Amino acid sequence: MSDVSLSDDDGSRAGPAPALPEFAERVLEVAERIPPGRVLTYGDIAEWLGEQGPRQVGRVMALYGGAVPWWRVVRADGVLLPGHELRALAHYRDEGTPLKEAGDRAEGHLPRLDMRRARWDGRDGGRARGHT
């Protein structure tokens, strides 16, 4: 992941991108392992790695997560990532990620992730347990 090249505005190559911080590399590697239809929280990834915390994982995803399935790294409350709700929702529906449909009074009427069923435990081969 650290050998990505950047381009200048005129299209010329600026050379190799600086290497990702080691923590960022590890976060992105975990994100890539999450199977379709499953999710991990920012805190889950920090716990899996045994270092840092959910805010640091979130920062890594904000800065570098575009190259991995970012929609599979989520908030613990199951609320869709603000500003990316519709893109994430399309991925969740394509992958069969378990959702809890929003009620009529819910703000924006967007579903949440069903964290009980969507959260990946790292062991079960990644099959989601149903979809609503």
The two three-digit tokens of residue 75, written as one number: 């908030």
Say if residues 123 and 35 touch (Cβ distance below 8 Å). Answer: no
Under the banding of pLDDT at 50, 70 and 90, the label for residue 19 is confident
**Token pair for 86:** 């519709």
pLDDT tops 60 at residue 23: yes
Is the pLDDT at 5 greater than 60, yes or no? Answer: no
More confident residue, 104 or 82: 82
Query: What is this structure's pTM?
Result: 0.77
Maximum C-alpha span of the chain: 52
Query: How does residue 102 score in pLDDT terms, banded at 50, 70 and 90?
Result: confident
Spatial separation of the C-alpha atoms in residues 96 and 128, rounded to whole Å: 7
Overall CATH class of domain 20-118 = mainly alpha
**Mean per-residue pLDDT of the chain:** 83
pLDDT given for residue 7 in this prediction: 35
- Give the pLDDT score at 108: 65
Query: Is-contact 30 40, C-beta < 8 A?
Result: yes
Tell me: pLDDT of 106 over 80: no
> Of 108, 74, 109, 116, nearest to 91 (Cα)?
74
Average confidence (pLDDT) over 103-124: 82
Assign residue 58 a region: left if phi > 0, alpha if psi is -120 to 50, beta otherwise? alpha
What span, in angstroms and rounded, lies between the C-alpha atoms of 34 and 73? Answer: 9
42-49 vs 22-33: helix axis angle to the nearest 10? 110
Lowest mean pLDDT among 7-11, 17-21, 98-102, 108-112: 7-11
